[in-house]
């Protein structure tokens, strides 16, 4: 079989057209892959961002009191409030007693003030 120049040129043209067609099909198929790759990389970056945020929240939650600790704190605060109320009631009685005991001293102070004012008036009149 002999090949002349026209036949070789036709075969070369056919091969080049076939390669061009294969490259075109491949580029069309890879365009979807590129878009998919972009979406996957965006999803991965969001996933990393969310993972960091979750780790930060978990780190903060470790330092917060749990349910049992909060309940114990509530019980202790109720006990403290009860003690303060009891102390307030006992102090009210003590203040009333002290007020009664201070009334005579106040009366003596008022009488001394009156006497001193009378003496000052007599000294100015004389």
* Predicted confidence (pLDDT) at residue 126 exceeds the cutoff of 70: no
CA torsion 78→82→88→90, rounded to 10°? -170
Model confidence band, residue 2 (pLDDT cutoffs 50, 70, 90): low
Of the residues 13, 30, 64, the one at which a domain ends? 64
Each residue's pLDDT tens digit, 6-34: 888 888 999 999 999 999 888 887 777 77
Residues spanned by the domain of 52: 1-64
What is the predicted pLDDT for the residue at 53?
94
98 & 88 share domain: yes
What is the predicted pLDDT for the residue at 17?
92
Q: What is the mean pLDDT of residues 112-120?
A: 89
Of the residues 13, 43, 64, the one at which a domain ends? 64
Determine contact, residues 81/89, Cβ cutoff 8 Å. no
**Mean pLDDT of the residues in the chain:** 86
CA torsion 96→97→98→103, rounded to 10°? 90
* Predicted confidence (pLDDT) at residue 44 exceeds the cutoff of 90: yes
């Amino acid at each position: 079989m002999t090949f002349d120049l026209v036949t070789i040129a036709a075969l070369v043209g056919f091969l080049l057209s076939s390669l061009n067609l294969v490259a075109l099909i491949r580029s069309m198929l890879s365009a979807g892959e590129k878009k998919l790759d972009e979406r996957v990389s965006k999803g991965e970056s969001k996933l990393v961002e969310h993972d960091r945020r979750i780790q930060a929240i978990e780190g903060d939650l470790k330092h917060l009191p749990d349910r049992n600790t909060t309940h114990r704190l509530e019980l202790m605060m109720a006990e403290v409030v009860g003690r303060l109320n009891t102390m307030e009631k006992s102090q009210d009685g003590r203040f009333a007693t002290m007020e009664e005991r201070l009334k005579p001293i106040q009366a003596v102070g008022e009488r001394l003030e009156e006497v001193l004012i009378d003496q000052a008036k007599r000294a100015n009149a004389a």
